[in-house]
Structures are given as structure tokens and as C-alpha cells.
Amino acid sequence: MKRRYVPHLPTILAICENNYVCMLKLLPDCDSEDLSYEFSISKDLVYKIQIIASTPYTSTLEMSQVSANTPKYLSPTMVVRLYHDAKVAEVLESQRTAQLQPVYEYPNLNMHQRNEKFLVNVFLAEWLHFCLTQRIETTTSN
């Protein structure tokens, strides 16, 4: 008999809180809509964060990796919401998969992992850590 995956809320919240802190370090102004930041890691690798919506309590961002040698449809992309009152950042959409569920039955038609949402938030943490430690040049545009 298979055990059903049950998300461990304290671990998920810790990751989302850490992601929020890291995101604020990268984005000095995350309250302005239509603002875009680019972090050049090398001449062929850029991370782009665009603020697509902002309200008093939330900001919604799109984060993507832009590589000269990779087609756009294969480049990692995610939509992240910052909850300023709770001080957490949550991945809403990843790789053009909207509304990630907290738990998936496995196997499933889209081949999501049982803990897909958790894994995507861990991936965001790794991305943010990489940007904080490796960034060379930051540019901002409206």
C-alpha cells in the first residue's frame, strides 16, 4: 500500500520565507509595476526578473533564464508571488504550468512529481542563491 504524500508545512514555509528574503536582496524596488531587472552571469547567460503586477500586499514577478544557445521554449521560467504581509514568496507557475497543486497523484498525465510544488520552490531557492552569489552586472529598465 502506497503512502500518500503529505506536505510538511514548516519546511515549505521556511523555503518560501527564505525565497522572499533573497528576492528582496535582488530587487531593491519590487513595488513598481513594469520594472525589469537583468542579472548577467556571463556573456551567454542572463537571469531576468520582471515585475508584472504590484498591489499593497503582493507583487507578482516573472523570472526567466535567457541563454543565447537555448531556444526560448526550453528556457526555465516561473511566475512568483511575493506576499509582503506574510513575508513569503511562492511559485505560482513553472515551465508554463499554471496553478501548481500542492499534491499530485502519481503517476499522472503530465508526469508531475507528487511534491512538484515543493520541488519548484526549492528550485527557486537555488536560482536566487545562484543569482546572489554569481551576479556580475545588474541592469534595470521600465
For the stretch 34-64, pLDDT in tens is 788 888 888 888 889 999 999 989 999 999 9
If one compares 141 and 16, the residue with the highest pLDDT of the two is: 16
If one compares 74 and 118, the residue with the highest pLDDT of the two is: 118
pTM: 0.85
pLDDT at 46: 87
pLDDT at 135: 60
SS3 letters across the chain:
CCCCCCCCHHHHHHHHHHHHHHHHHHCCCCCCCCCEEEEEEECCEEEEEEEEEECCCEEEEEEEEEECCCCHHHCCEEEEEEECCCCEEEEEEECCEECCCCCCCCCCCCCCCCCHHHHHHHHHHHHHHHHHHHCCEEEEEC
pLDDT > 90: percent of the chain: 40
